[in-house]
Structure 1
Amino acid sequence: MNRKLLLGVVGLVVITALAITAYSLKDRILSWSRPQTAATQPAAGHQNHGTAGESQTAKDDQVQATERQAPTLEIASEKQQMIGTQTADVSIRPLRKILRTTGRIEADEQKIATINAKFEGWIERLYADTTGKTIRRGDPLADFYSPDLTATQQEYLNLLQWKKGSDGREINPLVARDADNILAAARRRLQLWDISDEQIRRLEETGKSMRTMTLYSPVNGTIVQKNAVLGMRVMPGDKLFDVADLSTLWIIADVYEQDLDLVRVGLPARFTISAMPGKTFTAPVEYIYPTLAGETRTAKLRFRIGNAGMNLRPQMFTSMELIINLGRLLSVPEDAVLDTGERRIVYVVRSEGEFEPREVRTGVQADGFVEILEGLRSGDKVAASATFLIDSEAQLKGVRPLSGGHKTHNLE
């Protein structure tokens, strides 16, 4: 009896387990075979056109940002008077920039001569005995004793005497021609040693070699450097004097590299010298040097001025004004532009008491005005004073220029 009961219980458990398994398999088969509903299926075209949808959304956002009204700041008229707000018109006006800098007077390098020795010898007399002495072409500078020079003189005299003695006698034509060539070579050697034709003629007339020979100045000018000393020994190539013609001088002025683009050869400049108050000199730019000074980041300009009265001296300092006509440019007063370091802002008057912050692109500054390259039109009106206070008020109220700047072109 107990055995039958146990078998019945086991059979019931097995049947129950089989029923549960069959029911689970039925639900799984139905879920596999059931079609997807609209709620579970992907949206039509979603897989293929997702990127296009996102792009369209971005374009819509961009259009909305572009079409939104520019932000403005309202300031009551009483408050404007309190902070001293003034306005100015944006207009096209002629601008002229004046570069002010300093310069110094220097000797004209093209009129500096060096006088040196061309033979070995000793200075036995010095005529040009001081620096700063004015000399003229042909003035004596020094007397030299030179064994080489004395020997060359004697050689020339011997050849000259032989030639005179051979006149009227029959000699071999080849020997006569060689003698003439040797005599001409000796004369040429004396000339190359800066012995003048007058000295050679005197040598021929006297028939005696001179113990000392005089060196004469080949140029006019002022001795700016003197190395010659009485009694000193000189060797070929030794510099004895530097002579400069100071009738014309150079002015060398420095200009910063950011202004170089405005400078042209021929631009007129005015000069004043502290040692000559009340007197003004004018000269055009003659040359722009091609290099910059690394320490000061400046380039050099060269001017040439006359010095007929010899009142100007090298190394005098000068003050210079270089006048540059920039033409007619769209511009606003300098105080109207607020430079934040990253961009430049102006406050455009939209209506009475209403200002719009606007980013602009600027050019040159001249005559108290700033050139506007982009951001404003001729006829616009901007705040020309108290811009810092207006900007502070705008920052407090969160009013800022449109992102990306205002793309207004400079049209008259």
Structure 2
Amino acid sequence: MPAADPAAAPLAPGQVRVQPASLHYMEMQEVGAQGEAHVVWAPARVALREEQVADVVAPVSGRIVQIRAQVGDEVQAGAPLATLSSPDASRIRAEYANAQVELEVAQAEARRQRLMMEKGIGVEAEQLVAEARLKEARHNAEVAARAARFLGGGGNDGLVLKSPRAGVVLGRNATPGATVGPDAGSLFTVGDPAALWITADVFESDLATIVQGAPVQIEVASLDRPLSGKVLRVGSALNAQTRRGQVFIALDQASPSLRAGMLARAGIHARGAEGVSVPVSAVLIKDGQHSIVFVQISETVFEARPVVLGQPSNGYIPVLSGIGPGDRVVVKGGLLLDGAANQML
């Protein structure tokens, strides 16, 4: 503790002396080299991990004639999920068959022209035309084959939607008789029901303080005890309306009570701001525009220091200049020293 002030000691500009009794209404705190670590609380939800889930969409327009898998069914990769009747599928398969026939005709004509040229009775221009038609026919056949393979199983106008991976049918948005297409969205969701993570929506100002591997406490209203996890990654995009970014959290241990879509609350352990930081309550606004902090010089003498500030976060604010590590700043009762100033917040 600094020594008591000599009663007659003169004060430098910006310094204030208070009565010892006033110290009971004030609180001082020594500034450290790093900002205070803190917990960032954010709304969150339970979600399926994207890499463990696959959506099944109709590749072409059609009508569902049969549902072959229900929610909760365990399926293997390639297992049929639904059968569609699709004129588009019939047309694509017919185009593939026609392309194969045209390719065979072009191949035969190209062979005939080569043979005639070898015998010396062919015409070079006709051979060039035959080779060009063969090249075009091969291209058309390849395009038609890719389109036919994209349809998957089935014949004529029949189209079988198959599971792209092994897992459990987690969702179904398909009913017999419904007309569907590529723009209808997911008809089936297949994945691992235990592959869950937590996605938290964190304010823009807090994202910079969150690092990969930081411990997290997750509170779910329907569970009687909190869960624990770690930050897996911090999203790189912000929601333009809410100014929040997503933080993805991996659970330390799976919970059989969790379900995708549950709402939660995540408390993420964030690192302190780089450099010196003080509680927001320590900053006063002088003359409506200058930020100051009172530093304790001795037992009853305090000095107003102009400071340059960063962006506040969770009750603390970085101080870019004006004070340094080891300074004792007034964090409560600063208005007793300057009644003309205002609290920052």
Using structure 1 for the length normalisation, give the TM-score: 0.53
- Aligned counterparts of 1:288 and 1:105: Cα–Cα separation in 2: 16
1:282 CA displacement = 0.3
Distance 1:112 1:284, change over 3 A: same
Q: Mapping of 1:354-369 within 5 angstroms?
A: 354-363=301-310
- Aligned counterparts of 2:150 and 2:283: Cα–Cα separation in 1: 71
- Aligned counterparts of 2:291 and 2:35: Cα–Cα separation in 1: 22
1:116 to 44, 55, 58: 58
Aligned-residue sequence identity (percent) comes to: 22
* Alignment of 1:313 onto 2:313: no
Q: Could you list the per-position Cα deviations for residues 274-328 of structure 1 after superposition, in whole angstroms to 9, with x for gaps in the alignment?
A: 22231313032324133x2222222223335589665322221121122223388
Distance 1:339 1:312, change over 3 A: farther
- Aligned counterparts of 1:343 and 1:311: Cα–Cα separation in 2: 53
Distance 1:222 1:287, change over 3 A: farther
Q: Mapping of 1:219-230 within 5 angstroms?
A: 219=165, 220-227=167-174, 229-230=175-176
- Aligned counterparts of 1:383 and 1:360: Cα–Cα separation in 2: 14
* Alignment of 1:195 onto 2:153: yes
Q: Could you list the per-position Cα deviations for residues 327-349 of structure 1 after superposition, in whole angstroms to 9, with x for gaps in the alignment?
A: 88445555433245523222233
Q: How many pairs align? A: 283
Distance 1:128 1:344, change over 3 A: same
- Aligned counterparts of 2:15 and 2:338: Cα–Cα separation in 1: 11
Say which structure, 1 or 2, has more relative contact order (CA 8 Å, 6+ apart): 2
1:89 to 30, 33, 44: 30
- Aligned counterparts of 1:325 and 1:91: Cα–Cα separation in 2: 14
* Alignment of 1:386 onto 2:327: no
* Alignment of 1:128 onto 2:69: yes
Larger Rg: 1
- Aligned counterparts of 1:304 and 1:248: Cα–Cα separation in 2: 10
- Aligned counterparts of 1:320 and 1:391: Cα–Cα separation in 2: 40
Q: Mapping of 1:49-68 within 5 angstroms?
A: none
Query: Is the partner of 1:100 in helix, strand or coil?
Result: strand
1:103 CA displacement = 1.5
Query: Is the partner of 2:332 in helix, strand or coil?
Result: coil
Q: Mapping of 1:341-352 within 5 angstroms?
A: 342-352=289-299
Distance 1:334 1:222, change over 3 A: same
- Aligned counterparts of 2:34 and 2:160: Cα–Cα separation in 1: 68
* Alignment of 1:259 onto 2:201: no
- Aligned counterparts of 1:239 and 1:77: Cα–Cα separation in 2: 72
Tell me which residue corresponds to 1:338.
Answer: 284
Distance 1:210 1:281, change over 3 A: same
* Alignment of 1:282 onto 2:221: no
- Aligned counterparts of 1:117 and 1:370: Cα–Cα separation in 2: 54
Distance 1:240 1:316, change over 3 A: closer
Gapped runs of 5+ residues in structure 1? 1-67, 157-173, 175-186, 197-208, 401-412
Answer whether contact 2:168 2:190 (CA < 8 A) is retained: yes
Which amino acid counterpart does residue 217 of structure 1 have in structure 2? Answer: S
- Aligned counterparts of 2:271 and 2:242: Cα–Cα separation in 1: 26
Answer whether contact 1:135 1:223 (CA < 8 A) is retained: no
- Aligned counterparts of 1:262 and 1:125: Cα–Cα separation in 2: 52
Distance 1:136 1:391, change over 3 A: same
- Aligned counterparts of 1:240 and 1:371: Cα–Cα separation in 2: 47
Distance 1:119 1:191, change over 3 A: farther
Query: Is the partner of 1:258 in helix, strand or coil?
Result: helix
- Aligned counterparts of 2:215 and 2:301: Cα–Cα separation in 1: 46
Q: What root-mean-square deviation, in Å, do the aligned CA atoms of Structure 1 and Structure 2 show?
A: 4.6
Answer whether contact 1:117 1:239 (CA < 8 A) is retained: no
Task: Report which of the two has the higher share of helix.
Answer: 1
1:101 CA displacement = 0.9
